[in-house]
Amino acid sequence: MIRKAALSAIALLGLALPAMAQDASKEAVVARRAVDDRKAVIATVEPIRELRARARIGGTVTTLTVREGDAVQDGQQIATVVDPKLALQMQALEARIEAQAATRDQAQIDYTRAQQLRPSGAVSQAALDLARTRLEAAERLLHALQSDREVVRQQSTEGAVLAPGAGRILSVPIAVGSVVLAGETIATMATDNYILRLELPERHARFMKAGDTILVGERGLQQEQGQETLRRGKVQLVYPQIDQGRVIADAKVEGLGDYFVGERTRVYVATGKREALVVPDGYVYRRFGVSYLKLKNGDEIVVQVGLPVDGGIEILAGAKEGDVVVRP
């Protein structure tokens, strides 16, 4: 009987241990530790590259298929430039080619006749050489005119203005009917890849480095701290020059494709270390716009939360160090 009772107790203890471990995993202690001291700055959405679609020939804009804000693909035709002089040049070259072809044919006939008469001595060697030279000159001139025709034909095809990359159109400074020169800008566009450009006070220069994590607030500048959803990004480049007391840095953040170029947003950057109360993720919950923590004894306390930190969230007020909290 004693042995059976002992085995039953061991079995019950074995069933209880996973439940106890599960309950323990739902508890956490509000602890004080070193966190990044983050400051709020304003960052601007900028394209990595700003491209310009330019006219390759001079002429008149006959078609324009884009306007500000349109999305374009790499190589998409956005306008057509027509130069009426190219058609006239093509006609002139066609006529010269026909005339030169006739000259070449006559030179070929003269050379063939001289070859036939040379064995009998009716034509001198000098006359044969002269006929050969005239034939070669006529053929080379014909090839040159044909090359000129291909150049004009290529210029006609270059009237199509193509997008130099994929992105969105920022400005179109011309209209249909405008006269443009070769190299003139038809449209300015921003590439699809956007970055956040940060301008920090000079005193923060020693804290910024490539690879640092930043926290990006929601679109707009009116959200209050602790009530906005923050996204993480990485500093890609810190420019080695201070401009008017400002440090310039570029950060990579996912999901900026629908932002306006030049749009500003709030960003939190690390400017050192400080001590703070931290509770792990998943223990703070909100109800009716108020943040709560649930203590181990079942009481609920109202807390003021700060920014997310590594492995948790900062507690600004409402809790004290050593409080044991459970998941809601």
Band of the pLDDT at 190, cuts 50, 70, 90? confident
The DSSP element (H or E) to which 54 belongs, if any, is strand 50-54
Asked whether residue 1 is domain-assigned, the answer is no
Q: Is the pLDDT of residue 102 over 50?
A: yes
Residue 260 CA to residue 64 CA, distance in Å, equals 23
* DSSP 8-state assignment for residue 123: S
* Coil, strand or helix at 256: coil
Residue 246 sits in the same domain as residue 291 = yes
Residue 198 sits in the same domain as residue 282 = yes
Residue 76 sits in the same domain as residue 174 = yes
Q: Is the pLDDT of residue 17 over 50?
A: no
Q: What is the pLDDT of residues 134-161, one digit of tens each?
A: 999 999 999 999 999 998 888 888 889 9
Mean pLDDT of 225-251: 81
Total structural domains within the chain = 3
Residue 2 CA to residue 180 CA, distance in Å, equals 104
Asked whether residue 312 is domain-assigned, the answer is yes
Residue 152 sits in the same domain as residue 228 = no
* Coil, strand or helix at 63: strand
Asked whether residue 182 is domain-assigned, the answer is yes
CB-based contacts of 276, cutoff 8 Å, min separation 6? 32, 33, 34, 35, 306, 309, 314, 315
Residue 221 sits in the same domain as residue 260 = yes
- Residue 76 belongs to what domain range? 51-81+163-191
pLDDT of residue 221: 55
Instruction: Indicate the burial class of 264 (C-beta count within 10 angstroms; 0-12, 13-18, 19 or more).
Output: middle
Asked whether residue 119 is domain-assigned, the answer is yes
pLDDT of residue 220: 63
Q: Is the pLDDT of residue 35 over 80?
A: yes
Tokens 């996912």 locate to 254
Asked whether residue 19 is domain-assigned, the answer is no
Q: Is the pLDDT of residue 16 over 70?
A: no
% of the chain exceeding 90 in pLDDT: 22
Residue 238 sits in the same domain as residue 298 = yes
Higher-pLDDT residue of 289, 18:
289
Mean pLDDT of the chain: 83
Asked whether residue 16 is domain-assigned, the answer is no
Asked whether residue 258 is domain-assigned, the answer is yes
pLDDT of residue 98: 93
pLDDT of residue 84: 86
Task: Dig out the tokens for 56 from the structure.
Answer: 């390759």
Q: Is the pLDDT of residue 271 over 90?
A: no
DSSP string, 78-147: EEEEE-HHHHHHHHHHHHHHHHHHHHHHHHHHHHHHHHHHTTTTSS-HHHHHHHHHHHHHHHHHHHHHHH
pLDDT of residue 155: 82
Residue 225 sits in the same domain as residue 306 = yes
